[in-house]
Structure 1
Amino acid sequence: MKRQPLRLAILEATRILEDAGVESPRNDAELLAAHVLGVERGRLPMVPLVDPPVIDAIGQLAAQRAKRVPLQHLTGWAALGGITVGVGPGVFVPRPETELLLEWGLELLRGREYPVVVDLCAGSGALALAVANARPDAVVYAVDNDPHALAWARHNADARAEAGDTPIRLYSGDVGDSSIFTELDGLVDLVLCNPPYVPPGGELPPEVIDHDPPQAVFAAEGGLAVFRHAVGTAARLLKPGGGLAIEHDDTHGSAAPTLVSARKVLTGVEDHLDLTGRPRFVTARRAATAPSDGASRAGG
């Protein structure tokens, strides 16, 4: 069988994805080609010619992607921080925007030895595992209430442990449960959370609507129900000077910081933009001293 130029297969895959309305057709075509070849994307120029079965495999994957099957489901992985995690049906696919939240959290931990970190609504475990990879001295807890997500998180945690990363402590639980992690009250350096936050009925691309678990995407109370619980849990868990970073919908640029500010023990509340310039996550720190009035203590 005569070998064929790889670049032509990538160009054809790009055309197919463009016609299907995929947001980043060239990027996805190259990643699919790299996946088929088992090489890093940056090494594609070093593979000028490929066998016809490779061309066919790239075309088949491009056809699936054109049906708006998530790229990560086709390759089997998603990246966050310095790691990749396995993803597929039944678990939320980590988004690039969460990199900024992770960066904020790691910066907060700078200079702290053996920090305690909690990832609420852990999903695939990507955030918790990225922290454990960047900070091997950290004690990292992760929790989710979805058994399918927890199965993916356990798979990823085992894989990262085999790669030499510090194991994380994975739990089944709900952020709305006031008894969750009570043994950590006032001891946590950092709480990270990427909760379900899209208001019911929100318009989303097919990759999300048809493939991400609805319970990992949508939330009641205009998208803020789980967010509200997570803030309350974080206020209880954080030690003085500890930090919270929590994602929210881009329509919550005002409501999310307001909810965090309502917890009097949380100070320095700041909202942050994502990679597209939209409001995406809010941060705060636990006050060094508790509020003086009883009402504030009860609210925090």
Structure 2
Amino acid sequence: MEPQRPSVAVARVARELARAGVASARVEAELLVAHVLGVPRGRLALADPLAAEQTAHLADLVRRRATREPLQHLTGRAAFRYLDLRVGPGVFVPRPETELLAGWGVEQARRTENPLVVDLCSGSGAIALAVAGEVPQARVVAVERSPAALDWLRRNVADRVAAGDRPVEVVVADVTDPQLLAGLTGRVDVLLCNPPYVPRRVVVPEEVAGHDPDEAVFGGADGLSVIRPVVAAAARLLRTGGTLGLEHDDTHGTTVPELLAADGRFAAVVDHPDLTGRPRFVTASRRSDACHAAGGTAWQTGSS
């Protein structure tokens, strides 16, 4: 078999992926060919032709992608804001919509001189590491309970430390524990969370089903089984004026803000859309206990 030029390989793979019904077939073809060649996607045009063993490897990856194995599992990497994270079986693959929540968290953290930022349900560490990389003065704590996810989290933390970022503190804990991070009660400046929130009845895409861990996807019958205790934890952990950013299902654009408003300990409750305009994450600030005693909270929708 003669060596195949990258452009030819990309065109062929794109056709095969498109026939299999894979969205963004051309982009994924470029990423797969670049992965096999060991070059950045932007340098494909300058890369050497694929050798026979590389062509065979590529064919195997294309076959697996056509069966909806996640692209990130095939390459072992996931892009998130300015990060290139390690991912694979056992950890939730971070999504582009969560970059909006992370970006909001970065903006909030930059408003405090030496902020304490907590990332609950950290998974691969995407949110925590984004904050640590973009707000060098922040102390960032990442909480995760899954042994498999913790393995990926610790690897990503080690990678970022090697790249010069401040270490993220990894805490092994269940975010539904009423005593979660008891030593940080009333001290947290920014609390961020992308919890499992899909209602159990919802049919998820093939790339999610059987690949992303169920415990990182589904949040009980109504999708709120983790969100409810996270709201309580945020109210306890945040200092007065501290801020919360919480991702939720697109069917929860009213429900989750109402949970925060009904709690009474949060002000400035605003829901934000994702890149497609669907409700995606809610933000709020911790009221003083005196204000909490005084009355309820209204909420509103906003832009991301």
Asked whether the two chains share a fold, i.e. TM above 0.5, the reply is yes
The secondary structure found in structure 2 opposite 1:262 is: helix
Deviation string 1:117-169 (CA, Å, 9 cap, x unpaired) is: 00001111111111111112111111112111112111211221122111111
Among all aligned residue pairs of Structure 1 and Structure 2, give the percentage whose two residues are the same amino acid: 51
Summarize the alignment of residues 1-300 of structure 1 with structure 2, pairs less than 5 Å apart: 2-47=2-47, 49-288=49-288, 290-291=290-291, 293=293
Distance between the aligned counterparts of 1:186 and 1:118, measured in 2?
A: 12
Matched residue of 1:206: which SS? Answer: coil
Q: What's the secondary structure of 2:192's corresponding residue?
A: strand
| CA–CA separation in structure 1 for the residues paired with 2:61 and 2:202 | 29
Q: Kindly provide the amino acid, as one letter, of the partner of residue 284 in structure 1.
A: A
In structure 2, C-alpha distance between the alignment counterparts of 1:33 and 1:21, rounded to whole Å? 19
Check conservation: 1:190, 1:242, Cα contact below 8 A. yes
Matched residues in 2 for 1:221 and 1:244: separation?
24
TM-fit CA distance, 1:295: 9.0
1:288 and 1:39 map into 2 onto residues whose CA distance is 52
Asked whether the equivalents of residues 6 and 55 of structure 1 are also in contact (C-alpha less than 8 Å), the reply is no
Unaligned runs of 5+ in 2: 297-304
Contact kept in structure 2, 1:239 and 1:286, CA below 8 Å: yes
Q: Contact (CA 8 Å) 2:265, 2:292: kept in 1 or not?
A: no
- Structure 1 residues 69 and 293: alpha-carbon distance in aligned structure 2, compared to 1, 3 A threshold: same
Scaled by the length of structure 1, what TM-score is found? 0.94
RMSD of equivalent CA atoms: 1.7
Contact persistence 1:7–1:48 (CA under 8 A): no
TM-score (norm 2): 0.93
Amino acid in structure 2 at the alignment position of 1:218: F
Number of matched pairs: 296
Change (3 A) 1:293 1:242: closer
Q: Distance in 2 between matches of 1:162 and 1:41?
A: 23
Structure 1 residue 288: Cα displacement: 4.7
Spell out, residue by residue over 1:4-38, the C-alpha distance to the aligned partner (whole angstroms, 9 max, x if none).
22212111111111121112211111111111111
Q: Deviations over 1:33-84 (max 9, x none)?
A: 1111111111112237333333332222111111111001011011222112
